[in-house]
Structure 1
Amino acid sequence: MKYSLELTAFACGAIIMILELVGSRILAPYVGTSIVIWTSLIGVVLGSLSTGYWVGGLVADRHPSKKVLSLVALLASVAVSLTALFADKILHLLQENIKDIQSLALASTFLLFTPSSILLGMVSPYTVKLKVQNLGSSGITVGQLYAISTVGSIFGTFLSGFYLIPLFGSRNILFVLSACLAVISLILYFSAKRLAAATLLPLAFCILGITQPTNAGIIDIDTQYNRVRIFTDPDRNGRDRVLLQTELQSIQSAMYKDDPHDLALEYTKFFKLGKHLNPAMKDSLMIGGGAYSFPKFYLKNYPDARMDAVEIDSGLTSLARDFFFLDQSDRLAIFHEDGRVFLNKSSKKYDAIFIDAFSSISVPFHLTTKETVGRLYNVLSDKGVVLVNLIGSVEGSHGRLIRAEYKTYKSAFPQVHIFPVYDPYYGRAVQNIILLAAKSDEIPDFNSEDEEISRFLSHRWTRPIPDDVPILTDDHAPVEQYVFSD
């Protein structure tokens, strides 16, 4: 095939970027989507590619043959397919044995993506060696091949980010990449006449891999922003629930099968304090829709109120409609955009704002900062309140994010309180914590005749909160350091 080396350079450049982007989705349920995982992924892949460049150059000088390059592509195909087949098992094992999130991210990335990245890195120097005919034309030949490879990387980046990941599962994409590498191997090895028959093997392998069954009873879907798992599991009382996960450490949304509008997670029930603290609540904003558990409850129980819900991932909204009984309502307006972007341009006034956009290992820093808090203050009505779901402790090293958020909200709001959801007495307990900020100077009413509301109010933290962390700002918000500190 006349342009087999150019095709190889282009395809491998694309596959490297697709592999890296898909890798982030494979790792996300185990280590999150914070800067920690991107640092690990980018660093390990770059290190592996540099190793591949070095080794590839050495091998190319000693064995300058298309058949050897074909073997490299074939081995890369095998490495990618093994990642697709065993990634979840390896990640489960690592998660059970490595508790430090940075070490887990590095170990996971190294084991899953180092072999394939090294082999893909070997391709560039090998194609150069085979393509260069004389030193007089080496400059333009090297430049052309690197340009072709880089164009392939650009193509792979846009293809995976805009189309492949939202439309197909991460595992399926890896099998397709494996098949593509196998085809490249065959193109390099066989003559054109034998190529058509030879490509049937990787095609069959690809179909076999894609059709392998996943865990029974689990729906595993990739959206544009998340890898989502949906499954059923009863609560401790045996009441059946449908659960949604975007990371394995926690449940992001839940719904009771026998009552889709009931609140199945304890922390979401604390959002009922919004109505107690501002009885005139009519217009509310929710940042972080997920499966829309609280918006559904809100619409059913507050028939005179309306809500704007901001969820960046339209895929989650579609899943909420398909699996969590989210119905159309003229009292619920859904905006698919970033919460901070929405706040920056909003001129509407809200009586209550509910924020449920943080998880135990993924914290969008730009929603934690003084600038965001200032925008929240500005879009609240005079009696308005903000309720934020956070995860951490009040005291100890695991409470640094909680204390930083508390201090940040105190810089703008006259009244700020925190409510540990499960254990209101032990300050070092890591749990859901509801932060309440009130715009009014008036002391909130922390008493209620309603038994459930009274129980929630009794969880208010009244002991001193250590002042040992700075206010979070857009310029400096080390949320990953706070979340993952020991």
Structure 2
Amino acid sequence: MSTVSYSKLSQTMLWKLKILTFTSGAIVMALEIATSRILTPVFGSTIYTWGSLIGVILSGLSLGYFLGGRIADSHPKFDKICGIVFSVGLFIVGIPFFASSVIDFSLAIMPISQYTPLLATFLLLMLPSVLLGFVSPYAIKLGAHSLQKVGNISGNLYSIATVGSIFGTFLTVFVLIPNVTVHQIIFGLGIALIGSSLVGLKASPQLIAIAIVIILVVPWSTFSVNTISHNGQLIFEKETMFSHLDIIEFGDNRSLYLDGLRHSSMNMRDPLDLVIDYTEYFHLGMMFNPAAKDILFVGGGGFSGPKNFLALYPDVKIDVIEIDSDVIDAAKNYFNLESNPRLQIFNDDARKHLSMFDKKYDLIILDAYATNYVPYHLMTHEFFQTLEKRLEPNGVVVSNLLGSIEGNNSPLVRSIYKTMKETFPVSYIFPTESEPIFLQNIMIVSSNQPYEFDRLQLLEISKNSPADYLVDELSKHEHLYTGIVETSDVPFLTDQYNPSEVLINPITKKPYMQDLQEKQIEEKQHLEYSMNLILGFALVAVSAIWIFYFKKRIWNFN
């Protein structure tokens, strides 16, 4: 072969290697971020979930670099690494089909703890991470074999892989997740990987790739791979920057779900009614401080509380801080949230906002915690100090927590109570259920003022209040906790020490709320299962063809 033709061949090979390396780097990071949206509805967006994702990906790549280097030295064939990449792409397009089963298996093997997301992540991502780790050493071996410049080639290809990882990260975070469903993202990643591998494969794999695209694209408008089912009709769905948002209608109720958990509900016949019982307890703030005029809600959701307060208290002005702009848009479009001169909405992180603005409030209502996730920076001593600076002298804080006062589900509630007591020495506890050991919503009403109320006084106030929601509740002694809260065995929460994921772990072991009709759920799941089964069998058949072809035509050491 002449020098000119050899050079052209080398340049062609180099470009193919660059395509493969760039795509592999991009897919690794994009897959890590996309998979987080499968895991967080079950395990929460905790350090354990993200630590598992990062650790498994890095472990897999490290092992892949080691094994890939050994194989590349023994059998450096371009079609072999392309076949491996094709196989990884095929595995990735299957993830939405078996992710739920993997999570269920992980929960069965290891009842939910800080290690359960590690097991699920290992089963989902370890294999593709290892195989994608093959690409860099293989590409260096092939590139160096063509150009005889190991240092230059290795630096070039590693740089391209890193640029690919940066590209995949930004594309997934800023473009794909806000605009495309998770299973479509994962399908797209698999197809992109398969497409990049075709630069070194022949006609048969190309036909297999076309079959995979047809299988995935044709039924995709009806295909469902959600790990959590909702009762009712799905009327809106979006991947926001912070969570998976669903809006579901069932009967007269319309509900907003974030990562599979109901955060707000509205009676469409009476949009100002408080459908979820615990939201009635927000009015405790007006009972403690009837003269309140400036009110802040931390957490918007469907804006049930702010809308209700605006209707019942004509003299109040309300600010709402909601971190997710898509939640605000959903409230406007689906939950009758209208412009009001007495309502200001801030799309911001609550702690950052309160640190930067010096407005003071008569009442602050904290409603930003969820069953499987707590924003740790909104439960520390430093945050409560910031909160205290934003209160008027007679100001009151109403904090909605999830857990129990006594028993195994109580550490998080008791830790927050212990921490709040350092800033707000006056604190009352209002359980929403009859027993303090039950997993439930718990309201803590705090202030620096020496408010002295007993249940009967609050009952009389509620009878004469524009909001008489709590008359029945306060008629029962169990809705005002008068016992001593044991705090000696729970941590004081600070920015430096905040083991909130450990504290919330007992809560995530049990379902907090069951608002699904079992029969309808089973019917819906049966339809989804049937569709998944058909598509799954089609993919299995195509995979079997590919495995046979790969083993016979590519994966040989001759």
User: Taking structure 1 as the reference length, what is the TM-score of the superposition?
Assistant: 0.91
Single out whichever of 283-292 and 454-463 deviates more from structure 2. Answer: 454-463
Q: CA deviation at 1:98?
A: 4.6
AA partner of residue 126 (structure 2) = T
Superposed counterparts of 1:187-226, under 5 Å? 187-190=199-202, 203-205=213-215, 207-208=217-218, 210-214=220-224, 217-218=233-234, 219-226=236-243
Residue of structure 1 equivalent to 2:543 = none
Change in CA separation of 1:99 and 1:292 when aligned onto 2, cut-off 3 Å: farther
Q: Which of 238, 244, 249 lines up with 1:232 in the alignment?
A: 249
Residue identity matched to 2:242? Y
- Three-state SS of the structure 2 residue aligned to 1:398 is coil
* Higher Rg: 2
* CA shift in 2, pair 1:198/1:100, >3 Å: closer
Per the alignment, residue 483 of structure 1 pairs with 504
Checking the alignment, whether the CA contact within 8 Å between 1:26 and 1:227 is kept in structure 2 is: no
1:72 matched residue in structure 2: 84
Partner of 2:487: 467
Does the aligned pair in 2 maintain the 1:391–1:433 contact within 8 Å? yes
Please say if 1:344 is aligned against 2:355.
yes
Give runs of aligned pairs for residues 211-360 of structure 1, distance below 5 A.
211-214=221-224, 217-218=233-234, 219-233=236-250, 240-248=252-260, 250-360=261-371
Show the counterpart of 2:537. none
User: Structure 1's 199 and 360: CA in aligned 2 closer, same or farther, altered over 3 A?
Assistant: closer
Please name the residue that 2:162 is paired with: 150
The code of the aligned residue for 1:221 comes to: K
The 1:90–1:301 alpha-carbon spacing in structure 2 relative to 1, beyond 3 Å, is farther
Counterparts of 1:34 and 1:228, CA distance in 2: 18
Matched, 1:398 2:409: yes
- Give 1:162's aligned residue: 174
2:103 paired with 1:82? no
* AA aligned opposite 1:437: S
8 Å CA contact 2:280, 2:469 repeated in 1: no
Q: Which residue of 1 is the match for residue 399 of structure 2?
A: 388
Equivalent position amino acid for 1:55 in 2: L
Letter paired with 1:124: S
Contact 1:176–1:206 under 8 Å retained in 2? no
- Report the identity percentage: 36
Query: Quick check: 1:28–1:246 contact (8 Å CA) kept in 2?
Result: no
Q: Do the aligned partners of 2:403 and 2:442 also contact (CA within 8 Å) in 1?
A: yes
Give the Å deviation of 1:131: 1.1
Q: Deviations over 1:391-445 (max 9, x none)?
A: 111123421111111111111113112111112xx33222111111123123246
Note if contact 2:254-2:268 (Cα within 8 Å) is conserved in structure 1.
yes
Give a deviation string over 1:191-246, Cα, whole Å, max 9, x none.
9xx99999755654552364342378334420111112222346xxxxx3222222
Q: Which moved more, 1:79-88 or 1:346-355?
A: 79-88
Paired residues in the alignment total: 476
**Equivalent of residue 44 in structure 1, options 56, 74, 80:** 56
Cα distance change of structure 1 residues 94 and 241 upon mapping to structure 2, 3 Å threshold: farther
Q: Deviations over 1:82-115 (max 9, x none)?
A: 1123324543564566532323312221222222
Moved more, 321-330 or 402-411: 321-330
| Aligned residue identity for 1:483 | I
Amino acid at match of 1:15: I
Contact 1:13 1:149 in 2 (8 A): yes
The 1:232–1:332 alpha-carbon spacing in structure 2 relative to 1, beyond 3 Å, is: same
Is 1:443 the equivalent of 2:452? yes
Given residue 217 of structure 2, which amino acid in structure 1 is its aligned partner?
A: I
Distance apart, 1:269 and its partner CA: 1.0
Distance (whole Å) between structure 2 residues aligned to residue 465 and residue 350 of structure 1: 28
2:440 matched to which residue of 1?
A: 431
* 3-state secondary structure, aligned to 1:245: strand
Deviation at 1:316, TM superposition (A): 1.0
For residues 405 and 318 of structure 1, the distance between their equivalents in structure 2, rounded to whole angstroms, comes to 31
- 1:27 is aligned, of 34, 39, 43, to 39
The one-letter amino acid paired with 1:367 is L
Residues 265-294 of structure 1, C-alpha deviations (whole Å, 9 max, x = no match): 111111011111111121111111112121
Q: Tell me if the contact between 2:300 and 2:322 (Cα under 8 Å) persists in the aligned partners.
A: yes
RMSD of the alignment, in Å? Answer: 2.4
Q: Distance in 1 between matches of 2:218 and 2:106?
A: 27
Gapped runs of 5+ residues in structure 1? 235-239
Shift of 1:311: 0.7
Structure 2: how far apart are the matches of 1:203 and 1:40? 31
Q: Is the 8 A contact 1:175 1:209 kept in 2?
A: no
1:464 CA drift (Å) = 0.8
Q: Distance in 1 between matches of 2:492 and 2:408?
A: 16
Higher mean C-alpha deviation, range 308-317 or range 458-467: 458-467
My pick for the range that moved more, 56-65 or 28-37, is 56-65
Give ranges in structure 2 of 5+ residues lacking alignment. Answer: 1-11, 508-558
Q: Distance in 1 between matches of 2:287 and 2:140?
A: 70
Alpha-carbon distance in 2 for matches of 1:209, 1:310: 40
